[in-house]
Amino acid sequence: MQKVIYKDLGRIPYREAWDLQQGLHNEAIQRKRENRERKERGEELLPIGHHLLLCEHPPVMTLGRSGSEEHLLLDEAGLQAKGIEFFKINRGGDITYHGPGQIVGYPIFDLDEFFTDVHRYVRYLEEAVIRTLADYGITDAYRIKEYTGVWLPQKGWLPKRKICAIGVHLSRWVTMHGFAFNVNTDLGYFRHIVPCGINDKDKDVTSLANELGHTMDEHEVKEKLRQHLAELFGFEFA
């Protein structure tokens, strides 16, 4: 069974978390190279360094490599006035918001040690959030074929609502970036972007607190979420 090192980074600036991810990602790729050479020499292999980082960020907008800057509805002055950072990054997907009250997950996994299937990997991230929502009585969360992430269905006057965004990057089957799960998130920030580039009138964003009508214990939610990830991927925490 694979072992994963878990770190709760708390609230951390986006740039700092991105640099940490990149460092761990590079280390994992270098370890793969070294292990190939060790295997050829018949030497003992180095342990695989899988990591799961959970955190939240001060307000920040991030734009994926396939996204459009037109989906950011604030200019530089507007971003500064509201205290929001902006980064163009190398994950998939379009623009999204990260901020306080949101659980952001960055798995740095070597999928060669699990399965080499990007579609399955993303489905497992979604499924972990779906199972966490079910723990709180929200049993109708689902996927929309055209989009990644986790959604809640249209209900009465409420449109379809995205509660978790996903955008990943892989190199040599080592993952980085990940998911953003709205728990106690201030949803007003999403009005400054076209979330994930989706401008459909029948779709919106939501949070766990918004759906249940009260503030959530984020530590409790994190614990449930990380255990579901361990069950789905079949790993244990180091």
Counting as low any pLDDT under 50, the low residues of the chain are none
Give the amino acid at 54. L
Query: What global pTM score does this model have?
Result: 0.95
Residue 92: per-residue pLDDT? 84
Residues 11 and 9: their CA atoms lie apart, in Å, by 6
Q: β-strands 160-171, 174-182: how paired?
A: antiparallel
Residues 37 and 62: their CA atoms lie apart, in Å, by 37
Q: Which residue's structure tokens are 């020499």?
A: 41
**Domain hosting residue 170, numbered range:** 2-237
Token couple for 50: 């899988």
Residue 198: per-residue pLDDT? 77
We report the CATH number of the domain holding residue 202 as 3.30.930.10
Question: Is the CB of residue 198 less than 8 Å from the CB of residue 146?
Answer: no
pLDDT (tens digit per residue) in 213-237: 999 999 999 999 999 999 999 999 9
The number of folded domains in the chain is: 1
* Active site residue ranges: 196
